[in-house]
Amino acid sequence: MSSTGDKVKGLANEVVGNVKQGVGKATDNPKLRAEGKLQEKKGEAQQALGKVKDAIKKTVDKA
């Protein structure tokens, strides 16, 4: 997957994770809150992967 694709999917996972956390909090559902937190962290990792891919590409392009 491209770096842009990783970053977009990561952002989407973060947003969905935040929504799940909010719904879980509003409905007093700890399982949903935990799922949301996990999905948010997954999104953060995907975005970080996209940034690493960008950095590697820039380094390779300079060589």
pLDDT of 62? 86
Q: Which residue has the tokens 């799922």?
A: 35
39, exposed or middle or buried, with CB in 10 Å at 0-12, 13-18, 19+? buried
Would you state the structure tokens that stand for residue 58, as one six-digit string? 């820039």
What residues does each domain of the chain span? 3-62
Position 41 scores a pLDDT of 97
Any idea what DSSP says for residue 31?
H
Q: Using one digit for the tens of pLDDT, what is the confidence trace for 12-51?
A: 999 999 999 999 999 999 999 999 999 999 999 999 999 9
Could you tell me if 8 and 55 are in contact, meaning their C-beta atoms sit under 8 angstroms apart?
no
pTM of the model: 0.85
Tokens, residue 7 = 């970053």
